[in-house]
């Protein structure tokens, strides 16, 4: 059976699991781990992806992330490709480093956020990389030490986790650590890594089954909401052509649609091309090649324009809403 496409939706919590090909190690030593962490920190800052938990093991890693502007796939592609190239150069190897696809599970924030933070941060202890919780408190390749104040990564979410335990920092850390300790006897949690919340019922049960999706960790209502959003986006993509997008942006910016497609260094035309490129790539999921043909740009030109459009729409959400509302009519 073919694998289902990922549910890559901005603004949703996602538990990401990356494994080495054929269960091989993807980290040989601490220098490898530091290279990965450095790359992770840089990309989190550049992309505004929120990181709530992380743990590096020998042949796999866990991340708990929430993309805020672009699909998570963009972030993961840069993270894994860059690390694989660096790893292969350093260890004089070639070929794939990771399994073909990383696993991502869309998670309902409540009640799963803290459960996932605990599960991910206990991975080094379950794997025997540390002997006890005291060692985990200082283990440098896991987000737990950062939450305990024994390390510093500015881009890791700290306040948003600790404030759930107390308004006072010392109390929050003490209560958080107790929460982690209480999770040790639970061991491996298949319900947190398999995806899906499915009620076991006999064929004679009169209750309605909750909606279920193996790519989702959450309630039936949460799954239903995701399906509705995906249906709406698919419908928009099937009805919004690139020509319609160009015409819509041109009308809102009071421009001639044909002028947008002509080579020009005009700031307003560059702005229009940036908005069109960003929306076409990241909202409507057209390819860069498709966008380039419409705007008469090369692939690098589309990429540069899209970054320009993203910056503009981020500081002007009203314009974003105006365009998307017009496209949906």
Instruction: Report which of 140, 158, 8 is spatially closest to residue 75, judged by C-alpha positions.
Output: 8
Domain that residue 174 falls in? 13-193
In a domain, 205, yes or no: no
Structural domain ending residue among the three candidates 193, 209, 227: 193
pLDDT tens sequence for the chain (329 residues): 445 566 777 788 999 999 999 889 999 999 999 999 999 999 999 888 999 999 999 999 999 999 987 788 889 999 999 999 999 999 999 889 998 788 888 888 788 899 999 999 999 999 999 999 999 999 999 999 999 999 888 889 999 999 999 999 999 999 999 999 999 998 777 767 655 554 333 343 343 445 566 777 766 677 777 766 666 566 665 578 889 999 999 999 999 999 998 888 888 999 999 999 998 888 787 888 889 999 999 878 888 899 899 888 888 888 888 888 888 76
Is this model's pTM higher than 0.85 or not?
Answer: no
CATH no. for residue 161? 3.30.70.1290
In CATH, what number is assigned to the domain containing residue 323? Answer: 1.10.1750.10
Say whether both 35 and 174 belong to one domain: yes
Degrees, nearest 5: CA angle 47-36-18: 85
Cβ neighbours of residue 321 closer than 8 Å, sequence gap 6 or more: none
Note the helical H segments in the chain. 30-47, 72-90, 109-121, 123-126, 133-136, 143-147, 159-162, 169-183, 190-193, 220-239, 242-252, 257-260, 267-282, 288-295, 299-315, 317-328
Burial label, 326 (beta-carbon count in 10 A; 0-12, 13-18, 19+): middle
- Identify the CA nearest to 130 among candidates 140, 116, 117, 115: 140
Write down which residue in 127, 162, 193 finishes a domain: 193
Q: Please tell me whether residues 148 and 283 are part of one structural domain.
A: no
Residue 163 belongs to a domain = yes
* Same domain for 161 and 284: no
Cis peptide before 111 (omega within 30 of 0): yes
Per the structure, the count of domains in the chain is: 2
Domain membership of residue 158 (yes or no) is yes
């Amino acid at each position: 059976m073919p694998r289902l496409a990922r549910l890559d939706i901005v603004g949703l919590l996602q538990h990401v699991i990356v494994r080495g090909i054929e269960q091989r190690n993807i980290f040989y030593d601490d220098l490898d781990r530091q290279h990965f962490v450095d790359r992770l920190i840089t990309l989190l800052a550049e992309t505004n992806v929120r990181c709530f938990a992380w743990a590096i093991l020998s042949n796999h890693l866990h991340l708990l992330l929430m993309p805020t502007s672009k699909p998570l796939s963009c972030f993961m592609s840069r993270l894994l490709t860059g690390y694989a190239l660096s790893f292969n150069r350093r260890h004089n190897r070639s070929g794939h480093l990771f399994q073909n696809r990383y696993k991502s599970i869309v998670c309902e924030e409540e009640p799963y956020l803290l459960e996932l933070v605990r599960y991910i941060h206990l991975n080094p202890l379950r794997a025997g990389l540390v002997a006890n919780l005291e060692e985990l408190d200082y283990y440098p390749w896991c987000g737990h030490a950062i939450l305990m104040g024994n390390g510093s990564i500015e881009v890791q979410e700290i306040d948003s986790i600790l404030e759930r335990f107390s308004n006072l920092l010392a109390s929050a850390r003490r209560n958080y650590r107790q929460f982690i300790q209480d999770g040790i006897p639970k061991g491996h949690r298949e319900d947190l890594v398999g995806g899906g919340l499915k009620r076991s019922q006999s064929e004679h049960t009169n209750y309605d089954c909750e909606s279920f999706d193996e790519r989702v960790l959450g309630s039936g209502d949460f799954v239903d909401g995701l399906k509705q959003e995906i249906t709406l986006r698919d419908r928009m993509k099937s009805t919004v052509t690139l020509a319609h997008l160009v015409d819509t942006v041109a009308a809102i910016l009071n421009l001639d649609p044909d002028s947008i497609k002509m080579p020009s260094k005009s700031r307003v035309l560059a702005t229009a091309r940036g908005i069109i490129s960003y929306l076409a790539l990241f909202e409507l999921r057209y390819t860069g090649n498709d966008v380039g043909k419409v705007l008469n740009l090369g692939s690098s030109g589309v990429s540069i324009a899209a970054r320009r459009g993203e910056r503009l729409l981020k500081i002007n959400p009203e314009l974003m809403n105006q365009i998307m509302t017009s496209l949906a009519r």
